[in-house]
Amino acid sequence: MLAAILIALFAYVAITSGSGTKPTASVSQQFGCSNPEMTTQTHFHTHLAIYVGGGPTTGQPDPLQSGIGQNVQGATGFCWLHTHQVTGNADSIIHIEAPTSRASQGFTVGDFVKVWKLSNPAASLSPGAGQKEVVYVNGKLYNGSVSSIPLKSLEDIEVEILAPDQQPEPPPAYQWPSGFGA
């Protein structure tokens, strides 16, 4: 009798412990992080400016890092979402270079942050304690989560991290550098 109970218990555990979900791919696999650059069918750019303590004229620029999504986790190549040389917020440009089949599913700012965390685990667009976040997309106030903003061609996204008493500063129209299709 005890043997039958143990067998039934082991069978129950074996059946119910399988979650039925497929293993998830790593971030570097999800975003093609071992591909050579420019071998894809879709290539576009999104500008992402970050300011702390104000907006474009009053805040401290916090530009993206150069080389996000390049040569990550020991792989040589580029993630589908990456940056090149960044010297300031004016050239904090995300390069989206992905197979059309994947690009058609869309990428978000949250996806980019996942890639950014591969080389900088502390990367975040979230406000700290006692701060608030104000986001503009193409100069218009955005009321959703910054992570859910779709990355689109020639889109301008601005994130302002402010103290509770600070007022947001709507950004001027972004001037795309030559060569980016603007």
pLDDT at position 147, please?
94
Q: Tokens representing 158?
A: 């601005």
How far out from the chain centre does Cα 176 lie? 20
| Predicted pLDDT of residue 48 | 94
Q: Is the pLDDT of residue 35 over 80?
A: no
pTM of the model: 0.79
- Distance (Å) of CA 92 to CA 23, 50, 59: 34, 9, 16
| 31 — pLDDT class (breaks 50, 70, 90) | confident
Which pLDDT band, with edges at 50, 70 and 90, does 15 fall under? very low
Tell me the one-letter amino acid at 4.
A
